[in-house]
Amino acid sequence: MEDSCFARFAPIVAIATYSQAAQVLTPLTQDPNIQLWLPDSLEKQGNSQHYEGSLKEHLASIWAENQAFIFCLAAGAVVRLIAPLLKNKAEDPAVIVIDGSGNYVVSLCSGHQGKADLLSQIIARQLGAKAIVTGGSSAFGLPAIDTFGFIYGWHKGEGDWTGVMAAIAKKSTVQVIQESGSTLWQKHLPPSHPFHFGFSESSAELNPQARIWISPTKRKIAPKSDFPKVQWHPRVLWIGIGCERGTSAQLIETAIDETCKTYHYATEAIAGIASIDLKADEAGIIQVCQRRNLPFKTFTPQALKKVDVPTPSEIVQQEVGTPSVAEAAAILAGENLQVSKQIFKSDTQLGAVTVAIAQANIEYIGHTGRLYLVGIGPGDLNQITPAAQTAITEADIVIGYTLYLDLIESLKRPEQVIEASPITQEQQRAQRAIKLAQWGLTVAVVSSGDCGIYGMAGLVLEELQEAGWNGKSPQVRVFPGISALQSAASRVGAPLMHDFCAISLSDLLTPWEVIQKRLHAAASGDFITALYNPRSQKRTEQIVTTQAIFVQHRQEDTPVAIVRGAYRQDEQVTITTLSQMLEHPIDMLTTVIIGNTTTRNYADWMITPRGYLDRTRNEE
């Protein structure tokens, strides 16, 4: 359930009122996160339930407890049904409408905060339909400014969000002042974006029509300001806490809030609380963390003792074995101390609290990252599985080799970050993907063909093992793709109908002696053999030796397929023979398939018999 692409939208309701609509929704209801409701006039199917009475009443009864509603119903009817239930965009669930033929998936309501835009795109991928997203920012290929920060775990602060979004829709100049948090999003905007980053020499000259602050500082925004302003708060503040045993949660909260207020920090920018391990069971701190959904990090006195702090205390040293708890813990969690120790006591509340604040260089995201290892097939969008397309659509960041990323360009969402790298940098790519997933992003690493066949999947898993991965976090999913041997085979017929093997002729990572040994084994074992990486500009001899090895075991007229760029625009397909194969162009975009002793050519098709006809003949 957790690893479904729908988990982050759950609980989800799907509703159909007639049987064809129910059929359209059926593929979605295989997912345990989606509950299908049907009127009792329709037959139940799979994970469906019947509602009694009117849909209007039923909807009202399930509205509050669900995060997303998918209707296969006329848009007008849906609008009338949901109108009395809608409150505001911060609270309303995602509402999606699918037409009765299942061709269009419309993000109707709560596109940004309710995530209907993303959900509609994922559903469209699953149904092979087209997503209709009508939000302004999406039309310009821009990230939705009121939600994109959630990717990085940022919290929204005060501001005129509607005003800033209207300015963006009008393509007015929008000033962005980012003082903390990831700047990844800045590097992947469309060329015509309206943002101006930082203070220019003269902001007056810039004449911005809106401003976005991205900062741990809480700015007061006057209601009658000259132009709309909003603020995002990346979670960079670590609150170091020391307290007497039994200090009340309320006093701890007051201490945190007062300190933030005094130093103009937004409480929304708090990443978490840090203290000494002795306080790991301190009820007041635990309560505050639960109420505010904050992580609680604790450190040993030995670790805390080593930290240089501005206000060490001899008394604290004698009591707990380190001269500082609040300041040292804040620094260990957040690195840069911003507010030194503040002491709080109250006449009415139990206990005493010390608070210090440190600011981390990297924000705390607050969700577990995921790594999707995705095979994108030979290079045509139609040859990517819907599951792999969904994984790419869902990812916050897509990492791959430039050529492959170009092939899937049309799948890109505006919020997505695409990181392309040259072909040789596989290891850097794997390490980068792991780092981002460990931080909390959903990262798709794409390989051509199948990602587990001379692709990135193995490398990423090896690197994860190297990094001491526990097998669970980040969560890993591997999405298979159509490998070159399958796509090449499909272009020439059915050459792989009997036992076959794949051998890469690249000796970059495998010694040439080993490759030769395997070639001899494959040739003598009568395996149909698919050769990957057959020839590069520098590496030209291996294919010659390979042909010589096969000639020792097979007839010279054994059919050979040479397929270059299968399913790409410049595809070239040649069927030749073992003796003539070297007369044709072969390069790194080519897969060569050498038939076995029974493979034959027939009317420009390559066929390896499986043996059915022989059996029939024998039976006769």
Interface residues with ligand SAH (CB under 6 A)?
Answer: 378-379, 447-450, 453-455, 483-484, 487-488, 532-533, 563-568, 588-591
Spell 562-581 as b/e; 16+ CB within 10 A means b. Answer: bbbbbbeeebeebbbbbeeb
In the complex with ligand SAH, the residue whose CB is nearer, 354 or 533, is 533
Element (H, E) at 543: helix 541-551
SS3 358: strand
CB of 534 to ligand SAH, least distance (A): 6
In the complex with ligand SAH, the residue whose CB is nearer, 361 or 569, is 569
In the complex with ligand SAH, the residue whose CB is nearer, 5 or 530, is 530
In the complex with ligand SAH, the residue whose CB is nearer, 328 or 592, is 592
CB of 564 to ligand SAH, least distance (A): 6
In the complex with ligand SAH, the residue whose CB is nearer, 119 or 593, is 593
CB of 547 to ligand SAH, least distance (A): 16
SS3 410: helix
Q: Are 92 and 42 in contact (CB under 8 A)?
A: no
CB of 460 to ligand SAH, least distance (A): 13
CB of 391 to ligand SAH, least distance (A): 16
CB of 588 to ligand SAH, least distance (A): 4
Spell 222-241 as b/e; 16+ CB within 10 A means b. Answer: eeeeebbbbbbbbbbbbbbb
In the complex with ligand SAH, the residue whose CB is nearer, 16 or 489, is 489
CB of 532 to ligand SAH, least distance (A): 4
In the complex with ligand SAH, the residue whose CB is nearer, 354 or 591, is 591
In the complex with ligand SAH, the residue whose CB is nearer, 34 or 488, is 488
Q: Are 27 and 40 in contact (CB under 8 A)?
A: no
CB of 538 to ligand SAH, least distance (A): 14
Q: Are 49 and 37 in contact (CB under 8 A)?
A: yes
CB of 456 to ligand SAH, least distance (A): 8
> Where on the phi/psi map is residue 65: left (φ > 0), alpha (ψ -120 to 50), or beta?
alpha
Q: Are 279 and 326 in contact (CB under 8 A)?
A: no
**Which pair of structure tokens corresponds to residue 88?**
């505001």
In the complex with ligand SAH, the residue whose CB is nearer, 143 or 480, is 480
CB of 200 to ligand SAH, least distance (A): 47
List the one residue out of 565, 593, 590 whose CA is nearest residue 492: 593
Q: From CA 312, how far away is CA 328, in angstroms rounded?
A: 9
Type of residue found at 7: A
Type of residue found at 608: T
In the complex with ligand SAH, the residue whose CB is nearer, 29 or 542, is 542
In the complex with ligand SAH, the residue whose CB is nearer, 102 or 595, is 595
> Where on the phi/psi map is residue 564: left (φ > 0), alpha (ψ -120 to 50), or beta?
beta
Distance of CA 459 to the CA centre of its chain: 19
In the complex with ligand SAH, the residue whose CB is nearer, 529 or 533, is 533
DSSP secondary structure of 380-398: -GGGS-HHHHHHHHH-SEE
Q: From CA 430, how far away is CA 426, in angstroms rounded?
A: 6
Looking only at the bridges linking them, the beta strands covering 210-214 and 229-233 are parallel
List the one residue out of 157, 156, 149 whose CA is nearest residue 184: 149
CB of 542 to ligand SAH, least distance (A): 12
CB of 49 to ligand SAH, least distance (A): 42
Cα-based distances in Å from 42 to 16, 58, 205: 9, 16, 65
In the complex with ligand SAH, the residue whose CB is nearer, 175 or 487, is 487
CB of 402 to ligand SAH, least distance (A): 14
Residue nearest to ligand SAH (CB): 449
Element (H, E) at 204: helix 203-206
Its sign, for the CA torsion 466, 468, 472, 474, is negative
CB of 592 to ligand SAH, least distance (A): 8
DSSP secondary structure of 102-168: S-EEEEEE--STT-HHHHHHHHHHHHT-EEE---HHHHTT---TTTGGGGGT-EEEEE-HHHHHHHH
DSSP secondary structure of 550-615: HHTTS-TT-EEEEEESTTSTT-EEEEEETTTGGGS---TTEEEEE--TT-EEETTEEE---SHHHH
CB of 398 to ligand SAH, least distance (A): 16
Element (H, E) at 359: strand 352-359
As beta bridge partners, residue 591 has 563
In the complex with ligand SAH, the residue whose CB is nearer, 52 or 570, is 570
In the complex with ligand SAH, the residue whose CB is nearer, 181 or 379, is 379
In the complex with ligand SAH, the residue whose CB is nearer, 455 or 474, is 455
Burial degree of 245 (CB within 10 A; 0-12, 13-18, 19+): exposed
